[in-house]
Amino acid sequence: MVKVNDEREKVDESFFRFLIEAIKIAFSGSRRYYAWLLGLILIILLGAYSYYYQLKYGFIITGMRDQVSWGLYISNFTFFVGVAASAVMIVIPLYIYNYKEFKHIITFGEYLAVGALIIVMTNVSADIGRIERIFHMFPIVGTPNWPQSLLMWDFIVLIGYLLLNLIIPTYGLYKAYYNSQPRSWIKVLIYISVPWAISIHTVTAFIYSGLSARPFWNSALMAPRFLASAFTSGPALLIIVLLLVRHFRPEFREKISEKAIQTLAQIILIALITNLFFLGSEIYSVGYAQTSHWISLEYLIFGLEHAGKYYGVLVPFFWASLLLNLIAVFVLLYPKTRKNSYSLALACFMVFIGIWLEKGMGLVIPGFVPTPIGEIWEYIPTLMEIMISFAGWALGFLIYTLLIRVTIAIESGELRHLS
């Protein structure tokens, strides 16, 4: 008897059918929706065009050289690992503290991690000099240097995290599509995803903090700082997305409650203040001691003078980041501006840009300046490099758009299986 039931269930709830319907709905929408998709595709094409040149002529087309050997790609990689990790800030309140307000935003958060991971992977792949040899990192066909190399660890945790954040929400939508309840095994995956999210950003921080050659990164505070900034930038982007969903689809104003958004804003506020505190703590320790370890930070904050020449392309980045983050703190602290959708969205935008400046360029580049033998050399990305990197962004946003299009369709009842 039981067996028969099982089989009937399987026939009824075909995952394949769900997938087909989901893909159909993902590519249907208003004219504005198509314009958005087309815009993203155009950016991707521009990036692909530039990437062709990078493949053909090598990294000479980028602004990187031996002095600063990681640039915009690795900056964006680092930043978006943080955005991806922040999905945990919705999972923890919902599944551990049973905070019901997050029930309808969880899928948006988990899929945001997927989109962010696409940006992570495209950017880190763009930084590989011989991409055709990437299989050298894989077991059996390659020789992965695991557990020694943190890049191997990162590769493993990022793949795992991508799978978790694809499977968990997709399974939820699939069940919702057939109006049935998710099985409890999915809970296991959800609980695994909590430490896993922490791990992806910790491991990413360890890539940097384990290097004695680079005093600027060689700090025990690196991983905590990474997490604090992640829990700022990720929820900030999510709030913007949720506000947009509420704006374009008024029927979501109840599901995506004001309370849920306000809780997210509080999370951002706490993480933002923690992050600023960590930053201050880091600046103090090396700044007060004035050892040679201070020099990279000095380059970032004030710029350096050497042989009569001033070097300081990153100085505006640092101050803009600090200013944006500080203004955002006050906008989020003051209840009236926090509760107004427009000022909240603006604060979230400032936080997102502020953390991008701090964690992207502001973290990766100064680690290389000065070089280990004392050269001060300024890195400026080339247009082609920017196009390649931002094509990664566009691909991430494109996939995220398609995923939340399906989410919206199912959550609103627009797409349901009729039987």
DSSP category for residue 183: P
Name which position in 142, 195, 316, 413 contacts another protein (CB under 8 A). 142
- Among 93, 408, 385, residue whose Cα is nearest residue 261: 93
Does the protein bind another protein through residue 69 (CB under 8 A)? yes
Does position 110 interact with another protein (CB under 8 A)? The reply is: no
Query: Does residue 57 touch another protein according to CB under 8 A?
Result: yes
Using the contact rule CB under 8 A, the part of the chain among 89-97, 121-129, 249-257, 323-331 near another protein is 121-129
Span interacting with another protein, options 54-62, 248-256, 347-355, 384-392, rule CB under 8 A: 54-62
State the Cα–Cα distance between residues 254 and 116, nearest whole angstrom.
27
Q: Rule CB under 8 A: choose which of 80, 108, 155, 174 binds another protein.
A: 155
Q: Which range in 18-26, 33-41, 61-69, 87-95 contacts another protein by CB under 8 A? A: 61-69
- Closest Cα to residue 173, out of 356, 18, 3, 337? 18
Cα 161 to chain centroid distance, Å, stands at: 12
Please tell me the chain's helix, strand, coil percentages from 3-state DSSP, rounded to the nearest 5: 75, 0, 25
Which range of residues in 96-104, 128-136, 228-236, 253-261 is near another protein by CB under 8 A?
A: 128-136
Q: Cβ atoms within 10 A of the Cβ of 125, count?
A: 14
Interatomic CA distance for residues 199 and 164, integer angstroms: 13
Token readout for 334 is 């003051």
Which residue in 382, 253, 241, 361 sits closest to 313, CA to CA?
361
CA distance 328 to 302: 23
Stretch that binds another protein, among 27-35, 227-235, 238-246, 370-378 (CB under 8 A): 370-378
Q: Which is nearer to another protein, 102 or 208 (CB)?
A: 208
Identify which of residues 248 and 302 has a Cβ nearer to another protein in the complex: 302
Q: Report the distance separating Cα 309 and Cα 312, nearest Å.
A: 10
Q: Does 134 bind another protein (CB under 8 A)?
A: yes
Candidates 29, 95, 144, 382: give the one binding another protein (CB under 8 A): 144
Q: Check if the beta carbon of residue 208 is closer than 8 Å to that of residue 57.
A: no
Q: Does 312 contact another protein by CB under 8 A? A: no
Judged by CB under 8 A, the residue of 82, 367, 392, 396 near another protein is 367
Cβ proximity to another protein: between 62 and 107 the closer is 62
Q: Does 341 bind another protein (CB under 8 A)?
A: no
d(CA 413, CA 153): 41
Pair 335, 266: CB distance under 8 Å: no
- What does the alpha-carbon distance between residue 231 and residue 292 come to, in Å, rounded to a whole number? 31
Task: Name the residue nearer to another protein (CB basis): 347 or 361.
Answer: 361
Interaction between residue 213 and another protein (CB under 8 A):
yes
Report d(CA 231, CA 150) in Å as an integer. 22
Question: Could you say which of 59, 99, 311, 319 contacts another protein (CB under 8 A)?
Answer: 59
CB of 149 to another protein, least distance (A): 5
Output the CA–CA distances (angstroms, integers) from residue 257 to 54, 84, 246, 267, in the order listed: 46, 23, 9, 16
CB of 150 to another protein, least distance (A): 7
| Least distance in angstroms from the C-beta of 135 to another protein | 9
Rounded CA-CA distance 407/255 in Å is 13
* Region from 103-111, 140-148, 264-272, 315-323 binding another protein, contact rule CB under 8 A: 140-148
Taking the complex as a whole, how short is the minimal distance between the CB of residue 18 and another protein, in angstroms?
37
- Applying CB under 8 A, the span of 221-229, 262-270, 309-317, 365-373 interacting with another protein comes to 365-373
Considering the complex, state which of residue 11 and residue 141 has its C-beta at the smaller distance from another protein. 141
Q: Is 56 in the site for another protein (CB under 8 A)?
A: yes
Q: Is 149 left (phi over 0), alpha (psi -120 to 50) or beta?
A: beta
Could you tell me which of 127, 59, 74, 123 has the C-alpha nearest to residue 367? 74
Q: Does 305 bind another protein (CB under 8 A)?
A: no
Tally the C-alpha atoms within 13 A of residue 387's C-alpha that lie toward its C-beta: 19
Contact 365, 80 (CB under 8 A): no
C-alpha–C-alpha distance, residues 119 and 73, integer Å: 10
Binder among 28, 143, 180, 341 for another protein (CB under 8 A)? 143
Among 39, 58, 316, 413, binds another protein (CB under 8 A): 58
Stretch that binds another protein, among 49-57, 93-101, 160-168, 343-351 (CB under 8 A): 49-57
What is the binding site for another protein (CB under 8 A)?
52, 55-60, 64-66, 69-70, 127-134, 136-137, 142-145, 148-152, 155, 207, 210-214, 292, 295, 306-307, 367-368, 370-375
